[in-house]
């Protein structure tokens, strides 16, 4: 009788997980075969991030946070373990399917902005929409809307080289938002910015999170990580500790 009850509660828990967790890692390993000694970049991590949360993944270099980010972003597949993205097992998908997941679920923000230099601000923002197959008119409207949101509506026809670092990162944020992703993955988003501009970008990200977007960010700067509501510390491919409110 008691046993049944426990099982029922477990089931309920699982159900709750289904609705709340956007990302779930089940015993994820990432092992690189380099030379004789295999390198364990991720050495068995099980973790779940809730929908609407704002996480900072921290750790010294070599701790595995970049690998973590690549797997989270579906740029790389784990060697073993299962990765559920909104209850969808994405750990075994092929390249085309992963591309589609990146397109529809994930928005990337990079340390070095990674805008396409020959495209205008507008075209850069439109890029995910282009791959989604939106028509030109609809994409242009969406791009304008997003440019306004990040405060760059007057720069639509400029090329990245004509913008400041902060502005470039705003374009990157707008681009990341274009396809209405479920998660935004930010890899050291302020790494190439001065602290003032960096804070502005972080405020932008925090406001996006308030609107409901899940944000996972990799950083090694504590003051930047302070913008996140949860912090995950990594060390040697393992979760060292989790802190948050």
CA distance linking residue 172 with residue 190, whole number of Å: 12
Cβ 153 to other proteins, closest distance in Å? 22
Interacting span for other proteins (CB under 8 A) from 12-20, 126-134, 145-153, 197-205 = 126-134
Measured from the CB atom, the residue of 130 and 243 that comes closer to other proteins is: 130
Question: Is 130 an interacting residue with respect to other proteins (CB under 8 A)?
Answer: yes
> Helix axis angle, 136-149 relative to 121-132, nearest 10°?
130
CA distance linking residue 135 with residue 74, whole number of Å: 26
Number of residues that bind other proteins (CB under 8 A): 28
Helices (H), the chain: 2-20, 65-72, 95-105, 121-132, 136-149, 165-178, 195-210, 222-225
Cβ 175 to other proteins, closest distance in Å? 7
Backbone angles phi, psi at 172, to 5 degrees: -60, -40
Cβ 47 to other proteins, closest distance in Å? 21
Q: Which helix H or strand E contains 218, and what residues bound it?
A: strand 214-218
Strand partners, 42: 30
Question: Is 79 an interacting residue with respect to other proteins (CB under 8 A)?
Answer: no
Residue (of 138, 154, 67) closest to 170 by Cα position: 154
Question: Is 122 an interacting residue with respect to other proteins (CB under 8 A)?
Answer: no
Question: Is 140 an interacting residue with respect to other proteins (CB under 8 A)?
Answer: no
Which member of 17, 47, 127, 206 binds other proteins (CB under 8 A)?
127
Interacting span for other proteins (CB under 8 A) from 122-130, 195-203, 204-212, 220-228 = 122-130
Interacting span for other proteins (CB under 8 A) from 32-40, 78-86, 110-118, 223-231 = 110-118
Question: Is 83 an interacting residue with respect to other proteins (CB under 8 A)?
Answer: no
Question: Is 104 an interacting residue with respect to other proteins (CB under 8 A)?
Answer: yes
Task: Assign 7 to helix, strand or coil.
Answer: helix
């Amino acid at each position: 009788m008691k046993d049944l009850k426990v099982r029922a509660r477990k089931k309920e828990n699982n159900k709750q997980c289904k609705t709340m967790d956007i990302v779930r890692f089940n015993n994820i390993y990432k092992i690189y075969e380099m030379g004789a000694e295999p390198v364990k970049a991720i050495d068995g991590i099980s973790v779940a991030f809730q929908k609407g949360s704002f996480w900072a993944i921290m750790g010294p270099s070599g701790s595995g946070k970049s690998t973590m980010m690549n797997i989270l972003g579906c740029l790389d597949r784990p060697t073993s373990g299962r990765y559920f993205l909104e209850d969808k097992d994405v750990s075994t998908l092929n390249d085309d399917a992963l591309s589609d997941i990146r397109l529809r679920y994930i928005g990337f923000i990079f340390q070095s902005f990674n805008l396409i230099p020959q495209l205008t601000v507008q075209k850069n923002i439109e890029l995910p929409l282009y791959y989604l197959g939106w028509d030109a008119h609809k994409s242009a409207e969406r791009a304008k809307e997003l440019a306004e949101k990040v405060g760059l509506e007057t720069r639509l026809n400029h090329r990245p080289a004509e913008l400041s670092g902060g502005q470039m990162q705003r374009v990157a944020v707008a681009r990341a938002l274009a396809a209405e992703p479920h998660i935004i993955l930010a890899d050291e988003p302020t790494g190439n910015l001065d602290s003032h501009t960096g804070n502005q970008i972080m405020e932008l990200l925090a406001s996006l999170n308030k609107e409901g977007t899940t944000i996972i960010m990799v950083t090694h700067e504590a003051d930047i990580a302070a913008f996140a509501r949860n912090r995950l510390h990594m060390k040697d491919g393992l979760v060292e500790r989790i802190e948050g409110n």
